[in-house]
Chain A
Amino acid sequence: MSAATLKRAGYWTMHYAIIALYVAFALFPLYWLFKVSLTPTKLLYSEGVRMWPSRTTWENYGFVLTNSDFPRFFLNSVIVSVSTAVLVTVVASGAGYALSRFRFRGKFWLVGLMLITQMFPLVMLISPIFRIFTPLGLTDSLLGLIIVYTAFNIPFATFLMQSFFDGIPKDLEEAAMIDGAHRFTAFRQIILPLTLPGIAATLGFVFTAAWSELLFALMLISKTDASTFPVGLLTFVSKFSVDFGQMTAAGVLALIPACLFFFLIQRYLVRGLTAGAVKG
């Protein structure tokens, strides 16, 4: 073997070694989560740190799904996340369209405002929002959460939608307007259908963000009935901190919708992130 071949072989060995290490790092925690959730409670203490338990069981999932409030939490989270995703997408489509197609007074300030909201600490808003929402009956209510999440996600979603609108030639809605359409009709019938991938990506992003939000849900919701999955899981953890099997089973369940949406949106990750990183 020549030196060059050796060098190449060395390069590829290194390459795959690094990648294998990172894949292990990325997946191991999830593997472990899943493993613990399948371990029977009796074996947890004796076999807690084995790579695979000697016996597996689905009973933790059964318990979580039938004897706990998790189905309620799950449903609440779905309601909140889906509503937020739809609402944000509608509102951000409008704003993104305005930013993409019009020059108007105040545009600079609107963009500036949206950029700033991406920078400031949202925890700042916890106390005032709580005080404003209490008299309005928006605490302990899913509607309150939806409103908060919608507002928080609009700026990023707007930039994302704008980048999709920018990719659609202006000629198209002009042609439609000449064909006899109102601008709004052209927007609905011509532009929006062409932005479907962008809409899907925005829905996915916002859904995932709303599904994962913890702090405002903790602060604004105290009733179990209105708790979302993150809050439910966290209270479950602090209350029954020994029931690892059930907690991890609940964790795996919480993971599923987020992962589903992740696969829906992963093609747009790069665009989304660059929209966020460069503009935000």
Chain B
Amino acid sequence: MATIDIDGVRKRFGNVDVLHGVDLTIADGEFVVLVGPSGCGKSTLLRLIAGLEDISRGAIRIDGERVNDLAPRARDIAMVFQSYALYPHMSVERNMDYSLRLRKTPAERAREAVEGAAGKLGIDRLLQRKPRTLSGGQRQRVAMGRAIVRTPKAFLFDEPLSNLDARLREQMRGEIKKMHQDLGATSIYVTHDQIEAMTLADRIVAMNEGLVQQIGPPRELYEHPTNLFVAGFIGSPAMNFIDATYRREGQNAFLVVGEKRLALDERDVADGTPVTLGLRAEDIAIDADPEDPGAIEATVELVEPLGLGTIVHVQALGTHIKALSLAVVEHRVGSRIWIRPHPEKFHVFEEATGRRLERKAQFAAELPA
């Protein structure tokens, strides 16, 4: 197991800049999940770590050793491909011990390693089969097994579950988590799946257009997104965004949305600044008391029962808003209701920069500590 240190890494293909300087330090045994929209450079970053692409600028260190110029085979890293990339002409066993044979591991030890890994993954009875005779989930396990037979310094996963159906994905997600708890291996995991990211990660790295936007534990990205991009990207259903103006009158700060005023804690920004208010769907209560000053009148546009709760789409504050309720909701489309966003859970971003505006009070309280 090892630490991975990514230091100012840039990558360009021809004259297209794909990574604009990525900094990331991964501790020994940590499980880091990379998320970001398609084409933002996640796979490229993995491939740079694996040594499949040349680093244009910056350095990657594994256990303190600079590996920029090491070939993939010399980096001792395992990777699970989205396509699995199982060798079609080799049996499952051969697929799994290929790396060991390349390293001239004694046959006895290799067999033990393969059997151990196969046992852990429940594929011991498939060892003599060819990949083409396996189901999707079985192939996925073999790909996993191929990675874990040789206890590499780190694991790289590039969307390993995205080819599986929902149920299998859920199951494999659990197994990956268990495996990580067992092996404690340093891992970097790319996914588009919110739940995978939230459940697996020690820390999530949110990327956009070749730049790291935020790094932190899942809850931190969820509860304190540092900018509009992260706020909009993390979480499902996606955060509601409402254009507003920040106002301060004496001690009272509030947001103006159309005619509505919403009270909130003071932020460190000038009076009259255009901002974006972010509201998570679950932070909006429906069926609020109309007398409550925080309540907002809304028209129901669509009701989506999820089984676990309901998403209610409403028209309010001059825009479309989604609210999530854990209760069974029986409103009809077109009916008028009152919703109430939780003022403690307001996310406020400066419109011009997309930067998060923290609470002044909280800052002041935290500073001495």
Which A positions have Cβ atoms within 8 angstroms of B?
A: 169, 171-172, 174-182, 185, 190, 193-194
Q: Point out the residues of chain B lying under 8 angstroms from A172, CB to CB.
A: 85, 87
B73 interfacial by beta-carbon distance below 8 Å:
yes
Shortest Cβ distance from A174 into B: residue: B52
Q: How far is the CA of A174 from the CA of B47 in the complex (A)?
A: 10
Min distance, Cβ A141 to any Cβ of chain B, angstroms: 39
User: Of residues 141 to 193 in B, which have CB atoms within 8 Å of A's CB atoms?
Assistant: 146
Q: Point out the residues of chain A lying under 8 angstroms from B229, CB to CB.
A: none
B319 interfacial by beta-carbon distance below 8 Å:
no
**A178/B79 contact (C-beta < 8 A), A169-B85, A194-B89 known:** yes
B78 interfacial by beta-carbon distance below 8 Å:
yes
Q: How far is the CA of A280 from the CA of B102 in the complex (A)?
A: 40
**Contact between A178 and B71, CB atoms less than 8 A apart:** no
Q: Which of A169, A177, A179, A182 contacts B146 (CB 8 A)?
A: A179
Q: How many residues of B contact A (CB 8 A)?
A: 20
**A180/B73 contact (C-beta < 8 A), A185-B102, A194-B88, A194-B89 known:** yes
Q: Sorted from nearest, which 3 A-B pairs have the closest CB atoms?
A: A171-B85, A179-B99, A175-B85
Shortest Cβ distance from A172 into B: residue: B85
Which B positions have Cβ atoms within 8 angstroms of A?
A: 50-52, 71-73, 77-79, 81, 83, 85, 87-89, 98-99, 102-103, 146
**Contact between A178 and B89, CB atoms less than 8 A apart:** no
**Contact between A180 and B85, CB atoms less than 8 A apart:** no
Min distance, Cβ A104 to any Cβ of chain B, angstroms: 13
Q: How far is the CA of A190 from the CA of B99 in the complex (A)?
A: 12
Q: Point out the residues of chain B lying under 8 angstroms from A179, CB to CB.
A: 73, 98-99, 102, 146
Q: Point out the residues of chain B lying under 8 angstroms from A176, CB to CB.
A: 87, 98
Which among B71, B73, B99 has the greatest number of chain A C-beta atoms within 10 A? B73
**A171/B87 contact (C-beta < 8 A), A178-B50, A179-B102, A181-B73 known:** no
**Contact between A177 and B85, CB atoms less than 8 A apart:** no
Min distance, Cβ B46 to any Cβ of chain A, angstroms: 11
Chosen A-B contacts, 25 in total, with CB atoms closer than 8 Å, are A169-B83, A169-B85, A171-B81, A172-B85, A174-B50, A174-B52, A174-B72, A174-B79, A174-B85, A175-B146, A176-B87, A176-B98, A177-B71, A177-B73, A178-B52, A178-B72, A178-B73, A178-B79, A179-B73, A180-B73, A180-B102, A181-B73, A182-B71, A193-B89, A194-B88
Q: Point out the residues of chain A lying under 8 angstroms from B103, CB to CB.
A: 180
**Contact between A171 and B83, CB atoms less than 8 A apart:** yes
Q: How far is the CA of A181 from the CA of B87 in the complex (A)?
A: 13
**Contact between A177 and B52, CB atoms less than 8 A apart:** yes
Q: Point out the residues of chain B lying under 8 angstroms from A174, CB to CB.
A: 50, 52, 72, 79, 81, 85
Min distance, Cβ B60 to any Cβ of chain A, angstroms: 15
Shortest Cβ distance from A196 into B: residue: B89
Min distance, Cβ A171 to any Cβ of chain B, angstroms: 4
Q: How far is the CA of A131 from the CA of B73 in the complex (A)?
A: 49
Shortest Cβ distance from B80 into A: residue: A175
Q: Point out the residues of chain A lying under 8 angstroms from B79, CB to CB.
A: 174-175, 178
Q: Point out the residues of chain A lying under 8 angstroms from B73, CB to CB.
A: 177-182
Q: Point out the residues of chain B lying under 8 angstroms from A180, CB to CB.
A: 73, 99, 102-103
Min distance, Cβ A101 to any Cβ of chain B, angstroms: 12
**Contact between B81 and A175, CB atoms less than 8 A apart:** yes
Q: How far is the CA of A188 from the CA of B287 in the complex (A)?
A: 68
Min distance, Cβ B3 to any Cβ of chain A, angstroms: 19
Shortest Cβ distance from A182 into B: residue: B73
Q: Point out the residues of chain A lying under 8 angstroms from B52, CB to CB.
A: 174, 177-178
**Contact between B87 and A190, CB atoms less than 8 A apart:** yes
Min distance, Cβ A188 to any Cβ of chain B, angstroms: 12
Min distance, Cβ A259 to any Cβ of chain B, angstroms: 30
Min distance, Cβ A74 to any Cβ of chain B, angstroms: 36
Q: How far is the CA of A177 from the CA of B99 in the complex (A)?
A: 9
**Contact between B83 and A177, CB atoms less than 8 A apart:** no
Min distance, Cβ A178 to any Cβ of chain B, angstroms: 5
Q: How far is the CA of A179 from the CA of B79 in the complex (A)?
A: 9
Min distance, Cβ A200 to any Cβ of chain B, angstroms: 15
Q: How far is the CA of A182 from the CA of B238 in the complex (A)?
A: 45
Q: How far is the CA of A180 from the CA of B100 in the complex (A)?
A: 8
Q: How far is the CA of A194 from the CA of B86 in the complex (A)?
A: 12
Min distance, Cβ B238 to any Cβ of chain A, angstroms: 32
**Contact between B77 and A178, CB atoms less than 8 A apart:** yes
Q: How far is the CA of A169 from the CA of B71 in the complex (A)?
A: 20
**Contact between B78 and A178, CB atoms less than 8 A apart:** yes
Q: Point out the residues of chain A lying under 8 angstroms from B102, CB to CB.
A: 179-181, 185
Min distance, Cβ B133 to any Cβ of chain A, angstroms: 16
Q: Point out the residues of chain B lying under 8 angstroms from A181, CB to CB.
A: 73, 102
Q: How far is the CA of A263 from the CA of B356 in the complex (A)?
A: 71
Q: Point out the residues of chain B lying under 8 angstroms from A182, CB to CB.
A: 71, 73
Shortest Cβ distance from B98 into A: residue: A179
Q: Point out the residues of chain B lying under 8 angstroms from A169, CB to CB.
A: 83, 85
Q: How far is the CA of A279 from the CA of B72 in the complex (A)?
A: 34
Q: Point out the residues of chain A lying under 8 angstroms from B88, CB to CB.
A: 194
Shortest Cβ distance from B14 into A: residue: A103
Shortest Cβ distance from A175 into B: residue: B85
Min distance, Cβ B150 to any Cβ of chain A, angstroms: 8
Q: Point out the residues of chain A lying under 8 angstroms from B146, CB to CB.
A: 175, 179
Q: How far is the CA of A193 from the CA of B130 in the complex (A)?
A: 14
Q: Point out the residues of chain B lying under 8 angstroms from A177, CB to CB.
A: 51-52, 71-73
Q: How far is the CA of A162 from the CA of B16 in the complex (A)?
A: 27
Q: Point out the residues of chain A lying under 8 angstroms from B50, CB to CB.
A: 174, 178
Q: How far is the CA of A143 from the CA of B350 in the complex (A)?
A: 78
